[in-house]
């Protein structure tokens, strides 16, 4: 039986209510890329999109793919920068309408479907006095139920880059472990040129604890900051708002990241990326990973898991623009920056990577091998679309997981 015959037979056997949109249907383009956040969208054409609302829709979609000899791809939030869900000839399972939430108040264990956003989850958890520290989300989450989230911010002009960055890199390893520390290079409305924002966000049980945690930064911040505040009240809602503003919808994105070696001259290495942004909406960031990055399985300070690539210094660049004519300029800037930093990199965070553009290490050697072995064991035919590498030729082998100089 040919794929065309198998497809015709499969279509005839699907129930009329099955939520599938086929390539060529009137609503096809909306189904294909309507929920892809990055407006620099791929040309790949799946075979069909299943807009699942129940678990049996997901099961039936996988059966359909096996019947017609197609792969399966999955879209949860549509926020992968490289649009991993949009795969040529695949059955795309879109989970945007599939929402489940179950909290066991006795154990504190939450069961939630993959497409539940931070906004949805924290709104429901907030009613029960709980929170889930998920990744940043473009939707606003319900805040205010945590009374002691506090933030300090110090913003410097480009000329003070070395002083500000050297300060925060030296301060971070000994700072309060309950405080998130980030440096951001960006433009600010009404101000000329790039600025360096150093942010401290702490989660504490009381205002006194928060003030104590943030005080060392206030006492040691270099002079020259043009804007600053100390220990001001914030909330999850405000933090989500900030992320929404920094990652606007309807724009084109090119993104990459690196874990920089602990002994690298980080200040010098990242200077160009922080002070030569190609567009006014672009930004770069350095995130303090220490002391968590020093935890190991051997000393019992971290559990064994696939997420095993870390250093003290996480660096990422987010190039944002609107006009397609600027694609070459923006993409070449990003390539140049990461060609330059590659020599001092140990690998990258998988979630903000594009395997079509650059291959590197994403896990520890043994963890990566184990993950690929598990994948081959449970999906030996490669029904579930693998990592989207150049030409989408990944197959069942997975990623090479090697940092290349």
Q: State the Cα–Cα distance between residues 88 and 38, nearest whole angstrom.
A: 18
For the residues 250-271, what does the mean pLDDT come to?
A: 97
Percent of the chain at pLDDT exceeding 70 = 96
DSSP 8-state symbol, 364: -
Does the predicted TM-score (pTM) go above 0.75? yes
Give the pLDDT confidence score for residue 136 in this predicted structure: 59
- In the chain, the domains with their CATH numbers are 3-94 (3.30.43.10), 149-352 (3.40.462.20)
Q: State the Cα–Cα distance between residues 72 and 52, nearest whole angstrom.
A: 13
Give the pLDDT confidence score for residue 145 in this predicted structure: 37
Q: State the Cα–Cα distance between residues 123 and 43, nearest whole angstrom.
A: 36
| For residue 248, pLDDT beyond 70 | yes
Give the pLDDT confidence score for residue 301 in this predicted structure: 81
Closest of 334, 330, 159, 132 to residue 240, by C-alpha: 132
156 in Cβ contact with 224 (< 8 Å)? yes
Q: Over the stretch 334-349, which tens digit does the pLDDT of each residue have?
A: 999 999 999 999 999 9
* 3 state SS of 71: coil
Closest of 360, 169, 173, 156 to residue 268, by C-alpha: 169
Q: State the Cα–Cα distance between residues 37 and 243, nearest whole angstrom.
A: 14
Q: State the Cα–Cα distance between residues 157 and 100, nearest whole angstrom.
A: 46
Give the pLDDT confidence score for residue 137 in this predicted structure: 47
Q: Provide CB contacts within 8 A for 160, sequence distance 6+.
A: 196, 222, 224, 225
For the residues 188-214, what does the mean pLDDT come to?
A: 94
| For residue 207, pLDDT beyond 50 | yes
Taking the C-alpha atoms of 224, 241, 329 and 265 in order, what is their torsion angle to the nearest 10 degrees?
A: 50
Mean pLDDT of the chain, nearest integer? 91
Give the pLDDT confidence score for residue 119 in this predicted structure: 77
b/e code 156-166 from CB counts within 10 Å (16+ = b): bbbebbeebbe
Give the helix ranges, DSSP H, for 364-405: 365-378
Q: Over the stretch 61-113, which tens digit does the pLDDT of each residue have?
A: 999 999 999 999 999 888 889 999 999 999 999 999 998 899 999 998 888 88
Give the pLDDT confidence score for residue 191 in this predicted structure: 94
Q: Over the stretch 146-187, which tens digit does the pLDDT of each residue have?
A: 447 899 999 999 999 999 999 999 999 999 988 999 999 999
| For residue 326, pLDDT beyond 80 | yes
Give the pLDDT confidence score for residue 395 in this predicted structure: 80
Q: Looking at per-residue confidence, does 358 or 236 come out higher?
A: 358
Q: Looking at per-residue confidence, does 386 or 213 come out higher?
A: 213
Q: State the Cα–Cα distance between residues 227 and 244, nearest whole angstrom.
A: 21
Q: Over the stretch 231-244, which tens digit does the pLDDT of each residue have?
A: 999 887 788 888 88
* 3 state SS of 392: helix
131 in Cβ contact with 125 (< 8 Å)? yes
For the residues 43-67, what does the mean pLDDT come to?
A: 96
For 29, 162, 335, the CA distances from 34, given in Å and listed in that order, are 7, 42, 27
Give the pLDDT confidence score for residue 135 in this predicted structure: 63
Task: Band the pLDDT of 141: cuts 50, 70, 90.
Answer: very low
Give the pLDDT confidence score for residue 151 in this predicted structure: 96
Give the pLDDT confidence score for residue 146 in this predicted structure: 41
| For residue 125, pLDDT beyond 90 | no
| For residue 5, pLDDT beyond 90 | no
Give the pLDDT confidence score for residue 293 in this predicted structure: 87
218 in Cβ contact with 229 (< 8 Å)? no
Q: Looking at per-residue confidence, does 294 or 185 come out higher?
A: 185
């Amino acid at each position: 039986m040919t794929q065309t015959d198998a497809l015709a037979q499969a279509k005839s056997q699907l129930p009329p209510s099955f939520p599938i949109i086929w390539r060529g249907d009137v609503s096809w383009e909306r189904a294909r890329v309507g929920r892809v956040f990055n407006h620099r969208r791929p040309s790949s054409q799946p075979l069909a999109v299943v807009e699942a609302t129940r678990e049996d829709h997901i099961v039936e979609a996988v059966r359909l793919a096996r019947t017609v000899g197609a792969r399966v791809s999955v879209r949860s939030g549509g926020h992968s920068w490289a649009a991993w869900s949009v795969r040529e000839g695949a059955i795309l399972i879109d989970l945007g309408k599939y929402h489940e939430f179950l909290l066991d108040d006795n154990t504190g264990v939450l069961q939630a479907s993959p497409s539940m956003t931070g906004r949805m989850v924290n709104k429901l958890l907030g009613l029960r006095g709980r929170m889930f520290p998920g990744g940043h989300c473009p939707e606003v989450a319900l805040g205010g139920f945590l009374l002691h989230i506090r933030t300090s911010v110090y913003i410097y002009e480009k000329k003070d880059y070395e002083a500000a960055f050297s300060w925060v890199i030296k301060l971070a390893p000994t700072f309060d472990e309950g405080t998130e520390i980030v440096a951001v290079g960006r433009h600010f409305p009404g101000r000329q040129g790039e600025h360096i924002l150093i942010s401290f966000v702490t989660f504490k049980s009381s205002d006194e604890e928060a003030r104590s945690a943030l005080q060392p930064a206030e006492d040691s911040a270099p002079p020259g900051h043009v804007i600053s505040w100390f220990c001001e009240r914030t909330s999850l809602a405000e933090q989500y708002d900030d992320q929404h503003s920094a990652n606007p919808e309807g724009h084109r994105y090119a993104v990459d990241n690196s874990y920089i070696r602990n002994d690298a001259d980080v200040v010098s290495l990242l200077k160009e990326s922080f002070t030569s942004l190609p567009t006014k909406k672009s930004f770069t960031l350095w995130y303090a990973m220490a002391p968590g990055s020093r935890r190991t399985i051997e000393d019992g300070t971290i559990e064994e898991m696939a997420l095993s690539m870390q250093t003290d210094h996480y660096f990422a660049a987010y190039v944002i623009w609107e006009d397609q004519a600027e694609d070459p300029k923006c993409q070449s800037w990003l390539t140049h920056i990461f060609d330059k930093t590659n020599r001092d990199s140990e690998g990258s965070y998988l979630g903000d990577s594009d395997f079509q553009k650059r291959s590197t290490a994403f896990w520890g050697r043994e963890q990566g091998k184990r993950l690929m072995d598990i994948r081959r064991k449970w999906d030996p035919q490669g029904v579930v679309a693998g990592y989207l590498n150049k030409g989408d030729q990944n197959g069942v082998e997975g990623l090479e997981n090697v940092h290349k100089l």
